[in-house]
Amino acid sequence: MTEPKKKKTNRSEEGAFDLKAELISWLQIIVCAVVIAFALNTFIIANSRVPSASMENTIMTHDRVIGSRLTYRFFGDPERGDVIIFKWPDNEKVLFVKRIIGLPGETVTISDGKVYVNGTLLEEPYIREAMYPEPEMSFTVPDDAYFCMGDNRNESMDARYWQNTWVYRNKIIAKVYFRYWPGIKKIE
């Protein structure tokens, strides 16, 4: 007859607690958690904090948002109205969160505080307040690039004012899906 296998524990044969085995066990758990968090944040999700009022009321100052790095890689192209996390064209070390307004090949015109795409007024239910009128501006978006603006147009440092106007597809990090701090809110 075979002897039943004993369950492995962190106690020695005499019943004393084995501190070394317990510490190794905890260290393994911590290392696994760090590796999983790193992999998620590097390949699947993008986590960003919004430092300014440029996206209010969609995303408030100091909100934290999460986006999917996989959306545009596997599931389709960026679309008008998507809120994205991207490398700011004027300093790629800085990440920005803005909304896509103009798609490749389109002409975006800003006139009398309104946005037109290819001559048609853009319906923008997410806008916080009417944009202050400013001199008319027109932008023709090149291939593989996007024109992005903040939802709070009067407080947004966006493509209208950047030295390098376009957000190229390869500089888009993620599509934002929800705010997780403070509280959870779907971003549309």
Catalytic amino acids?
A: 54, 98
The residue to which tokens 């679309």 are assigned:
79
Which residues contact residue 129 at a Cβ distance below 8 angstroms, ignoring those fewer than 6 apart?
A: 152, 154
> Which has the closest alpha carbon to 65: 178, 182, 187?
178
- What DSSP string runs through 49-75? E--SSTTTTTS-TT-EEEEESSHHHHS
How many other C-beta atoms lie within 10 A of the C-beta of residue 98? 25
CB-CB contact of 188 with 100 (8 Å): no
Residue 140 Cα distances to 117, 127, 130, 158, angstroms: 10, 22, 23, 16
Burial category of 139 from C-beta neighbours within 10 Å (exposed 0-12, middle 13-18, buried 19 and up): middle
